[in-house]
Homo-oligomer: A and B are copies of this chain.
Amino acid sequence: MKSEDRILLAHGSGGRLSRELVESVFGKIMSNPILDRMDDAATLKLEGRLAFTIDSHVVSPIFFPGGDIGRLSLTGTVNDLAMMGAIPLYISAGFIIEEGFRLRDLEIIAGSLQAAALEAAVQVVAGDTKVVGRGAADGIFITTCGLGSIPQGIMLSGSGAIPGDQIIVSGTIGDHGAAILSHREGIEFDAELKSDCAPLGALVGAMIEASPNIHVLRDPTRGGVAATLNEIAYASGVDIEINEEKIPYRSEVRGTCELLGLDPLILANEGKLVAFVAGSDSEIVLETMRKHTFGSEATVIGMVQNQASSRPRVYARTLLGSRRIISMPTGEQLPRIC
């Protein structure tokens, strides 16, 4: 394959060129015994309770500091499985590609996806490729679907938060959103701002082993921590209070937010989680998280106050000691962040 080669409409036709593309790119990069059978569906053997999820990825730009759409597509779906307490196992990926897309870029993206799959210890077992004409899509969109196994006794849900739960974030907030936005806007810092894009299955596995009293896990992607906390408050029927002072940010993220007039709490994260843990177990969970690469900066940012008497609310105790409502973000400013 030559570096100047580009995707043609016929690569999506189901004919000879489709076959060649699948064999020379996906078959070569992602080869494993299940995928290599190239049947209409992958055959798997699994027992017990499963987690099943899907996410389409339309991030722009497709290459960004700290990752690309391939890595993001894998980690985004793996993390959704992990948030259910599941051990991520199998991934399927559907590619929608614009005619004229560079084959070399497709190889790089497939390579990133596969590298992230190895890092997350999952296998890509099924795939599909469609091609649309020039101008009918913007480069490449990737939809990934994930399948994981939920260990016996694990019951996590956004509706599980109860008063007294400590709220932990696994590290600095807003890195992914700020990296994409500053890259798009051409904002530069001394230290490069990178997406946090990472698979969290191993971190979650260690947390679950450390404590049976984790009530909710969520990855604050689109809509950021603000949306995630509002969703959990709403699903669990509780009021939440976080302490602004405790929220960890990188200085570059704070800088980007000041320049663009954004609240870091609404920025997407792609390698962070929010955990609601019974007060008695928050120390042991924190300790466990801090031993892990992707949880080394874990910290408690707030707690569940009470059952909501009317509409569930998320409050922030400000640096000045007053209390403000963190509302569900409206989101107009942040298209195509993941």
Which residues of A approach B to under 8 Å, CB–CB?
Answer: 8-10, 12-19, 37-58, 60, 79-81, 83-84, 86, 90, 92-96, 125-133, 135-138, 141, 143, 145-148, 150, 156-159, 218-219, 221-224, 227, 231, 235, 266, 268, 327-332, 334-338
5 residue pairs, one from A and one from B, having the closest CB atoms: A13-B331, A14-B222, A14-B223, A15-B331, A145-B145
Q: How far is the CB of A159 from chain B (nearest CB, A)?
A: 8
In the complex, what residues of B have CB within 8 A of residue A37's CB? 157-159
Report Cα–Cα, A332/B159, bound state, in Å: 50
Supply 28 A–B pairs (Cβ within 8 Å), ascending by A: A9-B335, A12-B222, A12-B331, A12-B335, A12-B336, A13-B329, A14-B268, A14-B331, A15-B331, A16-B330, A18-B331, A40-B158, A41-B148, A43-B49, A43-B52, A45-B48, A46-B46, A47-B47, A52-B126, A52-B145, A55-B128, A58-B136, A96-B141, A128-B143, A130-B338, A132-B138, A132-B336, A133-B335
A interface: dominant SS: mixed
With contacts A49-B44, A133-B335 taken as known, whether A58 is within 8 angstroms of B13 at the C-beta atoms is no
